Structure 1
Amino acid sequence: MIVFGGTGFLGSRIVRHLLDHEFAVRIASRHPDAGLGQPDPDNPRLQSFEADLHDERSVAKALVGISGVVNAVSLYRERGAETFYSVHVEAARRLAAQAHRAGVERFVQVSGIGADAASPSRYIRMRGEGEQAVRAEFAGACLVRPAAMFGPDDAFLSTILKLLRRLPIYPMFGRGRTRLQPAYVEDVAEAVARIMERAERQPAIFELGGPTVYSYEQLLRAIAHQAGLAPLLIPVPFAAWHALAWASEILSGLPLTRNQVELMQIDTVSSPRMAGFAELGITPHSIEELLRRMLSNRG
């Protein structure tokens, strides 16, 4: 197996879960920690391999002898030539085409709940176009769409918790009515590993949401309750958030982006018509479970 994006928040966990399932795993990245194609001395089933998704030759070389591919590469902020289109569409298409040419048996494209090629949001639209591009080149590709993922050292739960602790008055996106179904990153990684070992090889779509659907306000209150906090939550119109995000993107270093605001305007809830954790035999963990562990470890 080879994992592109195998050093990222989700990708690194996919690598570990694949190893737990006794797969030999190759991590493809532009700057591998280990030597080119050399096994990890601590785990001979793990290799780091230099490959750039924008370079067909390096991708083709990385795929030699590979039976399964996971594309977990993602981009949340555009920088120069690294755009949503170049990463989520062009690079995904290139990888799928090379995988098909190399005779790869299984291909998993990690996307996201809400991906829509018809969306007015460029980020969401490129996610949807990326799915279409992959399926056009590798007809049997499996699409994995996680909801917003949480886990230790994430950019989601940890950020909300930090802000709730610092801000006695907490500004909400809109009126806090957007629905979310956060998924534990380890559950998503385990799902990818189980998809890779399934006997079935038909194309499929898995939407992976956690055990609870919250409104944004309910999620904030649940997190605050676990942390023993009682913030005042105030609604802030999305127009104000878009203006703030626009300024944030101009003043480099500020974390908020317009695509993050756009994502908070749509519900990210798994469809009952799609396969999910249940079909893979996984009982997803709740955000409250992880919070209790995180907070007890701090104590």
Structure 2
Amino acid sequence: MADATFERSRLATVFGGSGFVGRHIVRALVRRGWRVRVAVRRPELAFFLQPIGGVGQIEAVQANLRYPASIAAALEGAEMAVNATGVKAETGAQTFRAVHVDGAQALARAARAADVETFALVSGIGADPNSWSPYVASKGLGEDATRAEFPAATILRPSVVFGPEDDFFNRFGALARFLPVIPLFAGGKARLQPVYVGDLAQAAAAALAGEAKPATVYELGGPDVMTLREAAEAVLRATDRHRLLVGLPFAPSYMIASTTSFAAKVTLGRFPKLLTTSRDQIDLLAFDAVVSNEAEAEGRTLTGLGIRPQAVDAIIPSYLVRFRKTGQYETQRSA
């Protein structure tokens, strides 16, 4: 039986709420005392979210971006909604166009039809509809489609997102455990501004609560600007390992990406995911994922939303400890 307190509280729908970013948005909304409807393709895989909230506070429902009726049902009675859906690689019907563009348009259109008060889209720094990168272009086109259907939507553009379930620092940690040499694609020179997933989630909650400027693009980055090489070095410090870091130019990087992607395809996914890289991932390293000077000056940042961003070195040791030689039982050598 649902708690009567939550029955009377505001309702927010989180599309993609079981994903890496989405689950933290759910947590941030729950902490505000709101009811949360988690809209996902497979609700049975979202049951792990139930303990985050009180009885009846979180509800998982089935929704598919290709079926407008399911989207409308997920938005019924909701006052707020956020689009946290996304794919890093295209598989089957889950293409960049289908999810980032057509899906974004369908969600924004349905939110407007459902009289949702506030709507937010989680995009990415550097999103550009005119980009030569299919992934980056799809993000930019998705933003355009969202604004066309829901003009007051808040767009959140995070840099590389990190946290316990990330596929960034965890990947370096796993590679350091198994390989004596770690390749740094695109030379390891790409500049990043990693943002903690909990801070991104707070920004999404603030946007839904009306604490962000409507029809505004926020660029979200942490306090540290670092190169890909420096990110790998941070992982080595956190895991107390010593590995050779080798920067690879774009040409061999693309060659490795093509080879590993092909291997994954012909082996039906049996090729180690840890060693699989896509060309789209290499493409992203051609851009610096950092907050622009304009966004800083205009307050379109985490601090502009009243959120103090957390540093990489303050967070990653807590979840990369498993990559140390003896896990959390390894004593730290004094400097």
Please classify the TM superposition score into its range, dividing by the shorter chain length: over 0.9
Note closer, same or farther for the CA distance 1:45–1:200 as it changes in structure 2 (3 Å cut): same
Matched, 1:123 2:132: no
Counterpart position of 2:209? 197
CA RMSD of aligned residues (A): 2.1
| Percent identity of paired positions between Structure 1 and Structure 2 | 37
Whether the 8 Å CA contact 2:38–2:60 is kept in 1: the answer is yes
Q: Please list every run of at least 4 consecutive aligned residues from structure 1 whose deviation after the TM superposition is greater than 3 angstroms.
A: 39-42
Task: Tell me the secondary structure at the aligned position of residue 20 of structure 2.
Answer: coil
Distance in 2 of aligned mates of 1:246 and 1:151: 28
- The number of residue pairs the alignment matches comes to 297
Note closer, same or farther for the CA distance 1:155–1:277 as it changes in structure 2 (3 Å cut): same
Counterpart position of 2:278? 257
Counterpart position of 1:278? 303
Instruction: Note the alpha carbon deviations across 1:49-68, whole angstroms, 9 max, x for none.
Output: 12111101111122111111
Normalised TM-score (structure 2): 0.84
* Post-superposition offset of 1:127: 0.6
Distance in 1 of aligned mates of 2:45 and 2:92: 28
Instruction: Note the alpha carbon deviations across 1:62-118, whole angstroms, 9 max, x for none.
Output: 211111110000011111221100100001101111111111111101001111111
Matched, 1:100 2:112: yes
Distance in 2 of aligned mates of 1:201 and 1:106: 11
Whether the 8 Å CA contact 1:115–1:127 is kept in 2: the answer is yes
Q: Give the helix-richer structure, 1 or 2.
A: 2
Question: Which consecutive unaligned segments of at least 5 residues does structure 2 have?
Answer: 1-11, 330-335
Task: Tell me the secondary structure at the aligned position of residue 119 of structure 2.
Answer: strand
Question: Which consecutive unaligned segments of at least 5 residues does structure 1 have?
Answer: none
For residue 241 of structure 2, the aligned residue among 204, 208, 229 is 229
Q: Which amino acid aligns with 1:30?
A: R
Superposed, 1:1-299 pairs within 5 Å as: 1-33=12-44, 42-199=54-211, 202-252=214-264, 253=269, 254=273, 255-274=276-295, 275-294=300-319, 295=321, 298-299=328-329
Whether the 8 Å CA contact 1:106–1:201 is kept in 2: the answer is no
Note closer, same or farther for the CA distance 1:127–1:199 as it changes in structure 2 (3 Å cut): closer
Whether the 8 Å CA contact 2:182–2:243 is kept in 1: the answer is yes
Task: Tell me the secondary structure at the aligned position of residue 57 of structure 2.
Answer: strand
Distance in 1 of aligned mates of 2:231 and 2:213: 37
Note closer, same or farther for the CA distance 1:232–1:53 as it changes in structure 2 (3 Å cut): same
Distance in 2 of aligned mates of 1:50 and 1:284: 33
Once structures 1 and 2 are overlaid, which stretch shifts more, 196-205 or 5-14? 196-205
Distance in 2 of aligned mates of 1:34 and 1:160: 27
Q: Which amino acid aligns with 1:121?
A: S
